[in-house]
Amino acid sequence: MSQFGSYTIYLALAFSLASIVALLLGVSKNDFRYLLSGRRSLAFTALFTTLAAAAMTYLFAADRFDIEYVYSYSDRALPLFYKLTAFWAGQRGSLLFWAWVLSLFALVVVYNTRQDLENRTTPYIYLVLGGTLSFFLYLLATISDPFAVIPGGVVPPDGKGLNPLLQNPGMIFHPPTLFLGYVGFTVPFAYAVAAMVTGKVDETWLRKTRIWNVLSWVFLSIGIILGGQWAYVELGWGGYWAWDPVENASFIPWLVATAFIHTAIIQERRNIMRVWNMVLIVLTFVLCIFGTYLVRSGILQSVHDFGATGLGGFFLFFMFFVMLVGIVLISASYRDLRTDHSLESFLSRESTFLFNNVVLLALAFSTLFGTMFPLISEAVTGNKLTVSQPFFNRVNTPLFLSLILITGLCPLIGWRKASTDNLKKNFLMPLAAMGSGTAVLFVLGVRGVYPLLAFALSIFVAATIGREFWSGTRARARLTGEGALVAFPRLLWNMRRRYGGFVAHLGMVLMVIGITGSNAYKVENQATLQKGQSMSVGEYTLRYDRLGKYSDRNREVYVATLAVFREGQPVGVIRPEKRFYSKADQPTTEVSLRSTLLEDLYVTMPTIGDRTVVTVRAAVNPLVIWVWIGAFIMVGGGVMAVIPRWKRKGEIREIPES
Amino acid sequence: MRFPRANIVLLFLVLAALIVPPAAMALTSSEVEGELMCDCGCGDVLVNCTCDRSEELRAIINGMIQSGKTKEEILQIFVDQFGEVILSAPPRRGFNLVAYGAPAAGLLIGTALAVVVVRRWSAAGRREEDEEASPDEAVSESLPEDVERKIDEELGRIEED
């Protein structure tokens, strides 16, 4: 089966290269047969990468420890569930997963363009997809073979096992969704390149790739959020975002992609910012490759260094190549891309979109610069440094606050031109809500400039969104005679593209509230307890009742039982664990959570001493659940915005006269 | 239509009240841990790390706090022993100022560019308006808001089709 896997990779590489050759011949000779051949080759590439993925899954399921990759990331005691997900636990499997998903996306593009081969852009779209596939398949076929067997024909009786931190349900979906996001942006990039090569740089490429743009952004968002959720429940430090280099590597393309999605709307509506959108999609694609590269390159110390090897040079070359192609194409097609930009007014929604782009890119830049600064500093001064959470919190918090402010301002300023009267009328309610809401929070004891500003701006944005929903519902109710309760959901559904964006912004507001609450008002305590002793954290008292032990398939687990009291009243028990995996040097702490809409009680047991003495670390994280609820709503808004409109069966449409 | 002056004044009063510095509080271990990295190789800030080594470092920090050392003194002891790499953020001096200043510079340059671009575009828009303006169009600018919204919604519907 290992040989079968290797052969499928070789065949996939051969077909992807063949597609490039055929497409280039087809374009240069203007011969339709070559183009058809190139398209078929892409389909065969998808077939063979699928077989390679199936072979890898089988090898994990069958405990084939003669395969280096399986030996490194699995063992016999590992539950089947995790054996299958160990596929993407290391660098080789991740690359195979990248190539497989990209080949399937290429197949979808091939299917979608089946009637469109005469279009001049189509062969170039295939070429970019085939070229990117060839890069990843080349790495898999040469220096990063996931099917490589252990040298000398030795078959170890058991594998090394999967990193205990990866044995969490969150890790099943976090890497694949992140990769779906990364890989997804290859398609709009391919369309953008094809548009520039053929000179068809109007908004057609944006319209055709809109669903790819938004869904890739949705998957990238889900991937980042699941990573945060995994960190929260698995790493045991009580937070969900640590500005780790690899977290940053996924966040930077997300920021640029968010900027792109916003300005794409402007191009579709006004046919402006065409050069800018090309720059953004090239940047997004390069940063997606950068994200993949940073995870496994080992150039920066990270909690994600699960299997770094020397692929850095290849990725750097590929990134520089893509950047170069992007710069050359944008420069060459600059005249075609340029339009006679004009805005009716300085104060318009279009201009707020531009300022939103500035802040998003400033955030991307500061995150990238901070992430790379240890390398820059060492190169310039020879001084080794660390740039971590406190730096990013200091530098990025003001930028995030500006972004929230713009998110609130945007809907209040009309498209094209805002009149002073309209501005006054639109700002009245949100400003009043912000002022009174902030005053109430202040009276309730909320202090600190940043938390109060974050909450105030969240109220402002929520009020602007509420105002949009209300005025839209009222207008619909007046037009149709429906009641508000019927008109509101129908308004959201019928105009889901417009209101999906507002729903996504509402989700973002809830996330801001959750992030602010859990960071600014977290309280924690640590105590070493004997049986019967208690500790307090916030309004909670924890009484240590007993320490138990049980064995699972691949681990021994110590579990402490603590009775929880809130303001003196019993509210349940909490059971933090310490797990000793048979194949790991370090034990892991398993978090025990009591989650409510107001706060999370977060308890871990860092150490177990002699005679059942335990050290317990407890924290109260206010509002943290709103991070997950907000994220869910934000992603839901994105999905809502791209749900197509179905035509009813039998719907009669007017035939145009000519 | 009046602007909500009372609310704005209230907001400024609230913000002004925030300038009052909080009362000095006793140094906690978490405050120091947030400024240091764990040296176990995990790449985590000490306050976030859960390994055995982090517990040792916490015990050392707690000992220093109990002996009356200030945060700065404790951080200096760690820097003397491990070098600046043990700090979770670079000290604000020398070349490190580039790290702190570059994002702000980027934002300022970006904002300035955006202002220039939008001014240029809106100037072009005004020129076009002057050239093309007619009395009928001037009337259409002052359509009632409800009508504008209906038109906007219908346009949105057509777009989605």
Instruction: Give the model confidence (pLDDT) of A127-172 as tens digits.
Output: 999 999 999 999 999 988 999 999 887 888 888 888 888 888 877 8
State the ipTM, two decimals: 0.78
Note whether B21 contacts A: Cβ–Cβ < 8 A. no
pLDDT band at B50 (very low <50, low <70, confident <90, very high): confident
Domain boundary pick from B52, B71, B89: B89
* CA dist list (Å): B50 to A318, A379, A605, B75: 37, 32, 9, 20
A326 has pLDDT over 80: yes
The pLDDT score that the predictor gives to residue A194 is: 96
Selected residue with higher pLDDT from A323 and B138: A323
* Whole-angstrom distance, CA of residue A56 vs CA of residue A58: 5
The SS3 call for residue A243 is coil
B44 belongs to a structural domain: yes
Cβ-defined contact of A496 to B160 (cutoff 8 Å): yes
- pLDDT by residue (tens digit) across B124-146? 777 776 776 554 444 444 556 66
Same domain, B106 and B69: no
Provide the pLDDT for residue A608: 87
**Is 70 exceeded by the pLDDT of residue A303?**
no
Residue B22's pLDDT is 45
Q: Identify whether residues B109 and B124 lie together within a single domain.
A: yes
A415 CA to chain B: closest CA distance, Å? 10
CA distance A560 to A605: 8
Token reading at A267: 């191009």
Rounded Cα–Cα distance for residues A243 and A387 (Å): 9
What is the structure's pLDDT at B26? 77
Are residue B39 and residue B68 in the same domain, yes or no?
yes
- Please answer whether residues A448 and A520 qualify as being in contact, where contact means their C-beta atoms are separated by less than 8 angstroms: yes
Candidates A234, A299, A346: best to mutate against B (most CBs of B within 10 A) is A346
pLDDT score recorded for residue A426: 83
CA-based nearest distance A95→chain B, Å: 24
Structure token pair of residue A14: 């051969």
Position with higher pLDDT, B144 vs A344: A344
Of residues A340, A356, A471, A349, the one with CA closest to residue A417 = A349
Give the pLDDT of residue A77: 87
Residues B119 and B73 in one domain: no
Q: What is the 3-state secondary structure (H, E, C) of A431-456?
A: HHHHHHHHHHHHHCCCCCHHHHHHHH
Most confident of A87-91, A99-103, A581-585: A99-103
One-letter-per-residue 3-state SS of A186-226: HHHHHHHHHHHHHCCCCCHHHHHHHHHHHHHHHHHHHHHHH
Question: pLDDT tens digits for A174-206?
Answer: 889 999 999 999 999 999 999 999 999 888 899
Looking at per-residue confidence, does A469 or A304 come out higher? A469
Query: At CA A503, angle to CA A498 and CA A509, rounded to 5?
Result: 135
Q: Nearest residue of A to residue B129 by CA position? A: A344
| Secondary structure of B109-131 in HEC code, one letter for each residue | HHHHHHHHHHHHHHHHHHHHHHH
Question: Is residue B5 predicted with pLDDT exceeding 50?
Answer: yes
**Closest approach of B60 to chain A, Cα-based (Å):** 15
In the structure encoding, which two tokens stand for residue B75, read together?
Answer: 């951080």
CB contact (8 A) between residue B106 and residue A366: yes
Q: How many CB pairs under 8 A join A and B?
A: 220
> Which of B45, B62, B89 is where one domain is finished?
B89
Q: Are residues B65 and B113 in the same domain?
A: no
Q: Rounded to an integer, what distance in angstroms lies between the CA atom of residue A519 and that of residue A459?
A: 18
Boundary-marking domain end, from B89, B108, B127: B89
DSSP state of A238: S
Q: What tens digit of pLDDT does each residue of A354-403 get?
A: 899 999 999 999 999 999 998 899 889 888 888 988 999 999 999 999 99
What pLDDT, on the 0 to 100 scale, is given for residue A118? Answer: 83
Mean pLDDT value across residues A611-625: 92
Q: What is the mean pLDDT of chain A?
A: 89
Helix (H) / strand (E) element for A345: namely none
**Nearest chain B Cα distance for residue A559, angstroms:** 17
Alpha-carbon distances, residue B120 vs A252, A409, A466, B84, B115 (angstroms) = 30, 22, 34, 47, 8
Give the closest of A366, A421, A526 to B103, CB-based: A366
Structural domain boundaries, residue B43: 28-89
Q: Which positions ≥6 away from B133 have C-beta within 8 Å?
A: none
Distance CA A117, CA A36 (A): 8
What is the identity of the amino acid at A253? P
State pLDDT tens for residues A537-573: 999 999 999 999 998 877 899 999 999 999 889 999 9
Who among B50, B58, B129 is closest to A589 (CB)? Answer: B50
pLDDT of residue B144: 60
Best A299, A342, A406, A524 member to test B by mutation, with max B CBs in 10 Å, is: A342
pLDDT in tens, A586-603: 788 889 999 999 999 999
Largest CA distance in chain A: 91
A547-556, B11-20, B65-74: range with lowest mean pLDDT: B11-20
Q: What is the DSSP string of A286-299?
A: HHHHHHHHHHHH-S
Distance CA A402, CA A356 (A): 9
Total domains, chain B: 2
- Picking from A354, A447, A495, the nearest residue to B114 by CB comes out as A354
Neighbours of A441 (CB within 10 A): 17
Helix%, strand%, coil% for chain A, nearest 5: 65, 10, 25
A267, A326 in Cβ contact below 8 A?
no
Are residue B119 and residue B70 in the same domain, yes or no? no
Decide if A247 contacts A227 (C-beta within 8 A). Answer: yes
Residue A656: which region, alpha, beta or left (left: phi > 0; alpha: psi -120 to 50)?
Answer: beta
Model pLDDT, residue A507? 97
What's the pLDDT band for A473 if we cut at 50, 70, 90?
Answer: very high
pLDDT score of B14: 53
Q: DSSP character for A234?
A: I
Q: Is residue B4 part of a domain?
A: no
Residue A137: C-alpha distances to residues A9, A14, A102, B160 (Å): 7, 9, 11, 39
pLDDT higher than 90, residue A627: yes
Domain ranges of chain A: 1-167, 175-406, 419-515, 523-622
Q: Name residue A607's beta-bridge partners.
A: A615
Which of chain A's residues have a Cβ under 8 Å away from the Cβ of B34? 389-390
Contacts of A353 in chain B (CB under 8 A): none
pLDDT tens by residue, A422-443? 778 888 899 999 999 999 999 9
Would you say residue A510 has pLDDT above 80?
Answer: yes
Residue A385 to residue B110, Cβ atoms within 8 A: no
Give the CATH number of domain A1-167. Answer: 1.20.120
Q: What is the pLDDT of residue B158?
A: 55
